[in-house]
Amino acid sequence: MNKLRKIMQFIFLAPLFIVPILNLLEIYFIKGTYISLDIGGLSISDPVAVLQALFISHSVRPVMLASVAIPALIVILFGRIWCSWACPYYLMLDGFEKLRKKLKMKPLKPKYNPEIKRKANISRLAVFIIGLIIVGIAGIPLMYLISPPSIMSSQAVLLIKYTYITAEFILLPVLVIIEFFFGYRIWCRYVCPTGTCLSLMQSKFSMHVEYSGNCSKCQKCVQICPMILDPKTDNLSSACNNCGECISSCPDNQKKPTLYFKSH
């Protein structure tokens, strides 16, 4: 499963560069960024971007709401798989973990603790709510400007099409330094507005990790979880992004279904 996820991550990374190159060649069947993408007239938008636009304009536009239909449907059916299967920043963090291991650097990942999970959930929700309030008051799409995937996507377009980047790009290397040397998936676990918004759209009926109740208690799934969760008890946690690493790493799955994806 990890190999399939990695393939999907690179497939979703490709449009970051392919779309602006196609636009340079005056091919506009597909245009835009990860925040707002237009494919043959079909608009697909990040729900957070649409929320910000609504808070800024103080009006509801049917076209804007319709653009989140596909992302919403995906979340309702499959949970927040965008984060672990498609987000370019998450792919970067996966690479950091491998690099740190090769360099034999001291692990930054904390041990599982329910209190860590609670604080992370509170932090993400607080950032999301406060961010929307600031957006409404200041009238600027703040969460779009500070989001790593948004920065990566918008700056790729500017660099390829217009050969320059803007000041917001500076935030990306700052976050990279923090993630690589000082913290463990800080953005994803404590900040990401998009991840928070997607988690609010899913339900117990969305695809999630299911635990059969029969295992050897090796705790391998807990040790491997990138979001510092216990898949056996936190399978419906808003922080779970259905990466499937717990399923792939579970030795008991070789004998009988212990951890697996399930949709009600």
Query: pLDDT tens for residues 87-134?
Result: 999 999 999 999 999 999 999 999 999 999 999 999 999 999 999 999
pTM of the model: 0.92
Name 95's Cβ contacts closer than 8 Å, sequence gap at least 6. none
**pLDDT at position 2, please?**
81
Alpha-helix runs per DSSP H in 14-113: 15-24, 47-57, 62-66, 69-78, 81-85, 88-102
**Assigned token pair, 78:** 């499959």
Ramachandran class of 228: left when φ > 0, alpha when ψ lies in -120 to 50, beta otherwise: left
Name the nearest CA neighbour of 149 among 11, 5, 46: 46
Query: pLDDT tens for residues 57-92?
Result: 888 788 888 999 999 999 999 999 999 999 999 999
**Pairing between β-strand 30-32 and β-strand 42-45 as defined by DSSP bridges:** unpaired
Compute the distance between CA of residue 89 and CA of residue 187 in angstroms, rounded to an integer: 9
- At 13, is the secondary structure helix, strand, or coil? helix
